[in-house]
């Protein structure tokens, strides 16, 4: 009887933990949802070169700030951000992935970063401020470098 009671107790604890204890993957998904919600709150914030606050952002400052709000520390520059995480093929993008572009005429390589929000859209800081754009636009499509998942 004692063994049976112990077995039932263990089974109950395991079953209870499956329903009420968050797992790393559910934590990651919740974190990505929070990240995108924080980013969307900032739509319309003006562009400011070197900016890292809601007074004004540049692209990497925006990504740096939004990630910091959800407890993720990133390097400050887009080129350094590109060195983090795992490469993700464009067809496998998930909300929260970082998307990188080459927008510089002077230097080749990563010069812009955005956050993928789903439906082939990114949110980022550009000269017109924080906004949402399509990856299919003629401008961003031709400048796409790659994506990373943290």
Write out the E strands in 14-111: 52-53, 56-57, 86-88, 98-101
Q: Which of 18, 67, 89, 124 is catalytic?
A: 124
Annotated catalytic, 124? yes
CA angle 33, 37, 42 (to 5 degrees): 150
Measure Cα distances from 48 to 41, 53, 71, 85, 134 in Å: 17, 9, 23, 27, 22
Count CB-CB contacts under 10 A for residue 102: 16
Annotated catalytic, 18? no
Annotated catalytic, 112? yes
Instruction: Tell me, rounded to whole angstroms, the distance of Cα 121 from its chain centroid.
Output: 12
Measure Cα distances from 96 to 47, 55, 125 in Å: 21, 23, 15
Catalytic residue IDs: 59, 112, 124
């Amino acid at each position: 009887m004692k063994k049976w009671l112990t077995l039932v107790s263990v089974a109950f604890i395991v079953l209870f933990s499956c329903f009420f204890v968050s797992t790393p993957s559910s934590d990651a998904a919740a974190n990505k949802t929070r990240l995108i919600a924080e980013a969307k709150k900032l739509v319309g914030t003006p562009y400011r070169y070197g900016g890292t606050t809601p007074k004004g952002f540049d692209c990497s400052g925006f990504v740096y700030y939004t990630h910091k709000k959800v407890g993720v520390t990133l390097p400050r520059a887009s080129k350094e951000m590109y060195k983090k995480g795992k490469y993700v093929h464009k067809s496998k993008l998930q909300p929260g992935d970082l998307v990188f572009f080459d927008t510089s005429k002077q230097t080749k390589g990563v010069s812009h970063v955005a956050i993928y929000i789903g439906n082939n859209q990114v949110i980022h800081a550009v000269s017109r401020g924080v906004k949402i754009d399509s990856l299919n636009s003629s401008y961003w499509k031709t400048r796409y470098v790659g994506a990373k998942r943290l």
